[in-house]
Structure 1
Amino acid sequence: MQKNCPLLEQATYRILAGAPPKAKKLLTVGISSAQHSHGSYLLDTLKSLFHASSLHELETMVVVVHLSDQDPAWLSQTVTNISVLFASHIEAHNLFVVQGLLGGSPLQKENFSSPCGELYSRQKENYALLMNFASKLSDYFLLMEDHVRCSPSFVSTIYRTLAAWKEFHWVILEFSGLRFSGKVFHSSDLPRLISFFLLFHKGIPTHLLLSQFCFLLAQNVPIHFFPSLFHHLGNKSELEDTCFPVEKDKVFGEPDNPTAIVLTDMLPLMNSRPQYAYILNEDAYSTLDPVKGNQLTVILDTPQKVTRVAVLTGSKEKGMFRLQQGKVLLGFNVLENGEHCTHYALLGPLVDGNLDQRVFYEEDSVKELSCIQVVVLATQEWWLLIRQIRVWTETEEEDVRGSSGGSRFSLGIEPTKAANKSGT
């Protein structure tokens, strides 16, 4: 994975519209698009993207569209449409369009046993070309498909999350329930991901390779945020629908906080009680001048298969008195004294005083939590309001269906050794 891919040494590119920015950006939004029998939603995707972004956000990002279809008529019409509709963004160097070709493409040499196998390989080749071109344009890379609707201010939400996660290890941050759209990478990881795609290109679905790539670089579970920032747009052909079924965000319903006790080493303000942070009503736990290392721990009466956790701090209206720097840990196996767990794992840092993430479990690990802990990472003066800790648990029916948790498959390599070789 650390070696340069020979296929990429023969890659050639044509810039069809616009030009790359002169200065390195914070974020590249990469979109790979091809001709579809059911019609194209690329223009709608771009409209949604730019409509959802402010001028300030556009200054820190660049959008790269990679057109992977070789049909000259389609290419000419698509480039013309983009050039006319988004002329101002092209002139501002916020958008440009390229076409890339791999010399000695693996698709020219493979006999595929199924139509899906060919689609998977084409997708990985197109993503490899897109990522190869974009790898030096910015610090981070956001992958998007060409049939996506974007939520307003999605760029700012991603930036705030990246800032909160700066001191923590991650490989892919997921901002959508879609298989590909909404995934953010370090641009420095893209060369290894490209080599990985082209090494295992035949017949293996791309989204499974992405989960394995995280595992090899020591991110053992997905990092998935709520609410989703990107949503599926339009329809697919029958073949595409078979090979790439439309993903839907898991519906969680209302939180069902199981019975628990709440302990803290922070001093309450007036008559506030730690339990107020966990009860699903308008009460909240308030404290004064929290210091680094302070914690509030929810200890469940019985271990639970938790599927989602949300922690809200600060006032509901204006967000005042929120935890400025904090993280949430998940604990396993309660100590005999019943006041802590023996082992904790990071769920994630708070972003703007809040956290809302899906919970995944490592393979062959304990899949029932006993503790949820909020930790103060920096001393702050003035009040702190922990408004609500919300917990969603899995029912027995969901457990039978296997609705939660990720999937992994074997590539015939030993993950531990591969991770060591990568230097992580």
Structure 2
Amino acid sequence: MTLEGDTEEEEKRILLQQHQEQIKSENKKHLETFKKIQKNSPLLQHTNYKFLAGIIPQEKKLLTVGISSVHRPRGSDLLSTLQSLFHASSEPELKYITVLVHLSDPDPEWLSQTVANISSLFKQHIEAQKLLVIHGLLNDSLPEDLNNTNHFSSCEALYFRQKADYALLMNFASNLSDYFLMIGDDVHFAPKFVYAIYWALSAWKEIHWVTLEFSSLSFSGKVFHTSDLSHLTLFFFLFPKETHTDLLLSNFGFLLGQRAPIRLIPKLFYSQDNYSTSEDTCNQKEEGKEEEDLGKPNNPPAKINTNMMLRQFHPPENTYILDESYFMTEVATPVNKLILIFNQPLKVIRVQVLTGIGKQALHRVEQGQVKLGYEPIKEKIGCTLYTLLGPLVKGNLDQKVFYKEDFVGAVRCVQLLVTATQESKVCIRKIKI
């Protein structure tokens, strides 16, 4: 029995390693092809823009909040979207962002009225160089077969228009900030969303990522490096009419080496649900991709292993009990870790790691990472293969876990790894699975 078990475990390990190597090879191949295409692309080189309100800020900001808006028969929620944005942002937060609105519809009457409304309602933000409104024209830089869209079906025309609108927006935004947040014109903002994104970006700064997602919406809530925007606009025009925009967005990260979506919880953006009939018909609604109610944590049976210093009244087992207890240790160094080893393979859908005590989060883990393990060590002290789920953001992590259909490993471990020395006491309050 032991020999057969060893053989089975070895086969799993080999299969898992082969899968990892295949992913790396595919990523490299995609990226090389992508860069070759980009070298020969003339797109967006002769794009024309009109400034409708505001001027380009003198200082480069942390984040551009990019909103693309088009005239719809049922009316637009752009004004309420902007009201929600500025209402949710304090004056200190606004110092980090530039709000860029691209009015993409060519109808002069709609443009004039929309600009008048924005200028009236948000005069102080325009004068403070926090809000900029533009209109872009793409025709001069497009191949001949895309200049005339009369031969497109209604859905093809919608897909193309949507990609062109966002491409113009991102092309203009590429030098305004370090990061770009994509937002639709029908979105409600959670309070202090700027600070939430700021702390997430700080935590992820030294880790490779392509897209961070702060909502379950198809378009809104996605953050990119502005240095990647030229790649993304080109990617849109490789599939100008046939493919849904949200499908391209969901695959863009994979193209540049991000293996799975990175979605942080709680979400910061919500849809206001106002769409035209054509958008409904073509399935381009700004809606969540999956059920957001992930249920309460159930913390399946697991063993806890740690090399942190133990205290008699606050043992590490407290982190996994769903009550008010916690684990306290005297000091933490980059070699310290706490590991959950599950009794059986699991499909984990969400992981929460909470550190610190009280509202001030005293004694939180200042720098740490959470990893998922897939190959258990027989002595039940951990796993041999780990993948990064994400870093702690202000001492906490709350993330959705995604699975590729062909991924063969089930989660066997969850590891909290300290990545910087802390001389004071450290509290790991809860790990919720």
Which amino acid in the other structure matches residue 356 of structure 1?
Answer: D
- In the alignment, is residue 67 of structure 1 matched against residue 103 of structure 2? yes
CA distance in 1, matches of 2:41, 2:55: 26
**1:225-274 Cα deviation digits (max 9, x unpaired):** 00000000142223212322352351112111111111100011233222
- In the alignment, is residue 247 of structure 1 matched against residue 263 of structure 2? no
Aligned to 1:23: 59
Aligned to 1:8: 44
Aligned to 2:233: 194
Q: CA deviation at 1:110?
A: 4.4
TM normalised by structure 1 equals: 0.89
Segments of structure 1 that go 5 or more residues without pairing to the other structure are 392-424
Across the aligned residues of Structure 1 and Structure 2, the Cα RMSD in angstroms comes to 1.5
Which amino acid in the other structure matches residue 232 of structure 2?
Answer: L
Q: CA deviation at 1:93?
A: 0.4
Which amino acid in the other structure matches residue 176 of structure 1?
Answer: S
Residue 343 (structure 1) aligned to one of 385, 398, 411? 385
Q: 1:73 to 1:210 in 2, by over 3 A?
A: same
Which amino acid in the other structure matches residue 95 of structure 2?
Answer: E
Residue 307 (structure 1) aligned to one of 329, 337, 349? 349
CA distance in 1, matches of 2:216, 2:147: 33
The answer as to whether partners of 1:226 and 1:356 remain within 8 angstroms in 2 is yes
CA distance in 2, matches of 1:327, 1:94: 34
Which amino acid in the other structure matches residue 194 of structure 2?
Answer: V
CA distance in 2, matches of 1:206, 1:112: 20
- In the alignment, is residue 159 of structure 1 matched against residue 195 of structure 2? no
CA distance in 1, matches of 2:152, 2:64: 35
- In the alignment, is residue 298 of structure 1 matched against residue 337 of structure 2? no
Which amino acid in the other structure matches residue 374 of structure 2?
Answer: F
Aligned to 1:408: none
TM normalised by structure 2 equals: 0.88
CA distance in 2, matches of 1:43, 1:264: 52
Segments of structure 2 that go 5 or more residues without pairing to the other structure are 1-33
Aligned to 1:326: 368
- In the alignment, is residue 45 of structure 1 matched against residue 51 of structure 2? no
Q: CA deviation at 1:121?
A: 1.1
Q: CA deviation at 1:208?
A: 1.1
- The residue correspondences of 1:4-403 to structure 2 (distance < 5 A) are 5-104=41-140, 105=142, 107-110=146-149, 114-242=153-281, 243-248=283-288, 250-391=292-433
**1:265-292 Cα deviation digits (max 9, x unpaired):** 0011233222110111111111111111
Q: After superposing the two structures, state which structure 1 stretch, 68-77 or 109-118, moved more.
A: 109-118
User: Equivalent pairs: percent with the same residue?
Assistant: 53
Q: CA deviation at 1:361?
A: 2.2
CA distance in 1, matches of 2:204, 2:40: 29
**Equivalent residues, number:** 391
More helix by share: 2
**1:347-401 Cα deviation digits (max 9, x unpaired):** 000000000000012342125200000000011011111111011xxxxxxxxxx
CA distance in 1, matches of 2:264, 2:419: 21
| Matched position secondary structure for 2:165 | helix
Q: CA deviation at 1:107?
A: 4.4
Aligned to 1:417: none
Q: CA deviation at 1:114?
A: 4.0
CA distance in 2, matches of 1:344, 1:112: 51
The answer as to whether partners of 2:43 and 2:234 remain within 8 angstroms in 1 is no
Q: CA deviation at 1:117?
A: 2.1
The answer as to whether partners of 2:139 and 2:147 remain within 8 angstroms in 1 is no
